[in-house]
Amino acid sequence: MKSVGHLQPVTKPLMDTMQNFFKYGSFLALLFLPALAMAAGGAETQAMSVEYRDVPGIGSRNLVWIVAQQHLLLAGFVLGVPIFAWVCEIVGWKTKEPRYDKLAKEFTKLLTSAYATTALFGGILLFLLIGLYPKLMAYLTDMFFPSFLVYCLLFLLETATLYMYWYGWDAMQGNKKAFHLFLGFLLNLFALGIMIVPNSWATFQASPVVVADGTAWERAWAAMQNPTWWPVNIHRLIANVVLGGFIVGAYAGVRYLLAVSREEREHYDWMGYVGNFIGVFGMLPLPFAGYWLMREVYQYNQQMGITLMGGFLAWLFILQAMLIGVLFLGANYYFWMGITYRIPGAESQYKKPVMAMLIVLLLCLGVWMTPHSLVASLEEARKMGGTHHPLLGVFGVMSAKMTVSNLMILVTFMSFIMYWRAGKQETAGWAKAAKAIMGALLVIAGIAVVVLGVWGYFVPAIIRINYFSVAQVLIVLFIMITFTPLTALLMKSAKTTTEMVWGKMPIRAGYSLVLNAVMVILLMSLMGYARSSSRVHWHIYGVMRDTSDYAYSPALGYAAAFMSLNTFVFCLIVAFIFWVATLGDKAKAQPLKGPTVGIPGHSAPAMAGGAPCPDEKLE
């Protein structure tokens, strides 16, 4: 670290103080951000000569990692929740069910405090980047400055729209509701802009393009249109919906566990259902978006693709499979519990299909988690005839993994359809034929996905990637696109045989909702690490090399510890935001009228999962 000229007497004692200070706790570094920023930006001469600054103790990279991760997760939350709220508001408007409108309003209320927290972390991140990576930031600023202005403008528009959307909620009911919905649309539109503009900066770092001479606006626009920009935009947009849905689900799960009255339990049980539904709804197309992103990465630079899928990050995808597998299991388990506890009598009807689905999911998860090559001693490798196991090696390749991921999506979709149909009796004359067609289509689709997967072993990789994998995805999408409206039509005229009962779920339902949210947050952290590590020792791939002491990607274990820490901190921040946002409600709340009752199985240890008490009566 250099200090030059007349600044030295001023900055030297300050930096010494900072260094001593950091020894006692790196978190306190945040308090010194303004000083750090001044040290960075106070003199151009200094900024030009300094490429990096470090933070003693925690290290500059780790500090940026934590702050950036919190900012990104919060950003995902504040971009996902408005989508969730807007969708709920539309559903409430169309179905005339006020509880959806209430739910949408409840979550919009969170946005004001959540936005402030997100912006706070964004500001800290910006100061850190300017202070710790001045050369990189100078380059990016030079390249993207016009887009910074657009970003600021979008923020202004977003903030103004959010104020109108939130404060105008009650005033814009009745015939003004359409305008309020339009505001919700604008809110999400500006939020989309706020997401995609910085995405272009990050994706440019991973996949920079040739930028010809031109005006600042032309250069910025050319740099923004890099190959991974739109795949990341779409992937993040869907992932934000998933994050928003599952966080709402987790909030509902916690509130359900804390609920003391029947009304509360019914409300949060229902909220958990809606959150899980939207999370799963987003999760189903997410792997396809991820597949598109990886395709673009390979197309842009095969070396980068190999680093991700076959290089030192190969084991990361085993962890990813595990997290996605747990998420799929958790989401399905919640559906199955819903069938069992919310629809009395449906359990026996769906017991066998649920068992079959569980077996398929576990088998698929086993295949997905099979590593491509095994860690083996020389002797073991000799016995196996290489690092590939003679039997399990078959499951370690992409053809098998693509197949099982498609099957898991199919199973999850069918869980949802099953839940939809439970407790209802179709009355339409064509119901039998429709169900037979759907059953046949499902079987054909499952077989086709497996056949294409097996066939994929016998064709060149390029054929498999471009045709077989795409065909598998299209088959699953076809099933989803045809089954959803068909089931909706069937249910429209169906007779309800068993009314849905809310608030009867066991305590493990609340935990499974929390687990799903944790899995999604971990997944986002894990894939962020993967995307960042794919640049290896480059700040901007192939353009600006990282020459700092941190020009390496840490091993998975170390990275996972950081991801866990980040996830925990994020959960606490979100809990704090929820707590702050509901403080006023608690003060205003009337004494509870409903009887105080326990959740079924509440007395059992949580680890045992609890069980509904058969004798328990709510009233």
Contact residues for another protein, defined by CB under 8 A: 143, 210-213, 219, 254, 257-258, 298-299, 302-303, 306-307, 311-313, 315, 318-319, 322-323, 375, 460-462, 465-466, 510-511, 514-515, 518, 522, 533, 536-538, 541-543, 545-546, 551-561, 563-564, 567-568, 571, 605-607
Task: Output 97 or 142, the one with its CB closest to another protein.
Answer: 142
The least CB distance from residue 301 to another protein, in Å, is 8
Task: Report the residue number, 123 or 609, with the smaller CB distance to another protein.
Answer: 609
Backbone dihedral angles phi then psi of residue 596, each to the nearest 5 degrees = -85, 115
**What SS3 state is found at 540?**
strand
Where do we find the tokens 């003199």?
43
Element holding 538 (H helix, E strand): strand 538-540
Judged on CB neighbours under 10 Å (0-12, 13-18, 19+), 586 is exposed
Beta strand pairing status for 424-425 and 495-496?
A: antiparallel
Nearer to another protein, 353 or 598 (CB): 598
Closest to another protein by CB, 276 or 487: 276
Q: Which of residues 179 and 552 has its CB atom nearest to another protein in the complex?
A: 552
Shortest distance, CB of residue 166 to another protein, whole angstroms?
Answer: 27
Whole-angstrom Cα distance, residue 557 to residue 98?
48
Minimum separation from the CB atom of position 459 to another protein (A): 9
Nearer to another protein, 313 or 494 (CB): 313
To another protein, the closest distance from the beta carbon of 279 in angstroms equals 17
- Cα–Cα distance, 126 to 369 (Å, whole number): 38
CB of 223 to another protein, least distance (A): 9
- The full DSSP string for 498-531 is S----S---HHHHHHHHHHHHHHHHHHHHHHHHH
For residue 390, what is the DSSP state?
A: T
Q: Of 317 and 416, which has the nearer Cβ to another protein?
A: 317
How far is the C-alpha of 119 from the C-alpha of 68, rounded, in Å?
12
The CA distance from 594 to 600, in Å, is 17
Shortest Cβ distance from residue 220 to another protein (Å)? 12
Strands 544-545 and 538-540: antiparallel
Nearest to another protein of 180, 401 (CB atom): 401
Q: How far is the CB of 49 from another protein (least distance, A)?
A: 20
Task: For the beta carbon of residue 578, count every other beta carbon within 10 angstroms.
Answer: 19
Q: Is the dihedral of CA 149, 153, 156, 159 positive or negative?
A: negative
CB of 306 to another protein, least distance (A): 8
Nearest Cα residue to 509 out of 234, 257, 231, 288: 257
